[in-house]
Amino acid sequence: MTSKSCVIIDYGIGNVFSVTQALAHLDVSVRLTSDRAAIKAADRVILPGVGAFGRAVDTLRAMNLDETIHSFIETGRPFLGICVGMQVMMEQGLEFGTHRGLGLFGGTVERIDLNEADGRPLRVPLIGWNSIHQTTPSRWQGTAFSGVADGSDFYFVHSYAAMMSNPQDVAAVAHAGVGGITAAIQRDNITGVQFHPERSADAGLAFLSGFLAQ
């Protein structure tokens, strides 16, 4: 059996230290790099991200990493986007203007505009722990969530959320406000999570272990 290894894309936007520490806890060989050849050759790749959609995607394009990400995904090997790293995988982001995303998933990233059950506006940014649920009873089977219990709590910090064109791409929903928000997206070898698994204790480690097992 080959040892687990993972490349984290280093583009200056993302909490790479926490992600690296979480993977190290799982005894994973981690490389933090922006080298395009190393990314394309990786066993699996993580794209972290914090801050604004536009800055993140513009930086990826300026470093020619957008093409690298597409090339890697075409290999069929596992790819994970975390927080803004998930958001930039969408077609478009509406944070501080309109920005073109990587187009890996159809839909837009829009400011959270939900109400609580009593009609009060949901407080934004959404900060803290929220339970997530799979969208169908078997949705997590064979995915990075296979070892995660439905209803597990994960840590979120964000003001914008993905509005998906294809509901089948939604892997998990967080019960925040009436209707909830997209917590995770998944299709084929591509997974994106709005929450921070590296800050989500045992549930986060279970999710990362599932990603590493793919």
Domain ranges of the chain: 5-212
Q: First and final CA of the chain: distance in angstroms?
A: 13
* Cα–chain center distance at 113: 20
Q: What is the pLDDT of residue 3?
A: 58
Q: What is the pLDDT of residue 2?
A: 43
**Model confidence, pTM:** 0.94
Q: Which residues are catalytic?
A: 83, 196, 198
Contact 124, 114 (CB under 8 A): no
Q: Which two tokens stand for residue 13?
A: 């936007």
Q: Which residue has the higher pLDDT, 115 or 161?
A: 161
CATH assignment of 5-212, among 3.40.50.880, 1.10.1370.40, 3.40.50.1970, 3.30.930.20: 3.40.50.880
Q: How confident is the model at residue 112 (pLDDT cuts 50, 70, 90)?
A: confident
Mean pLDDT of all residues belonging to the chain: 93
CA distance 28 to 6: 7
Q: Look at the chain and count its residues.
A: 214
**Residue carrying structure tokens 């994106």:** 192
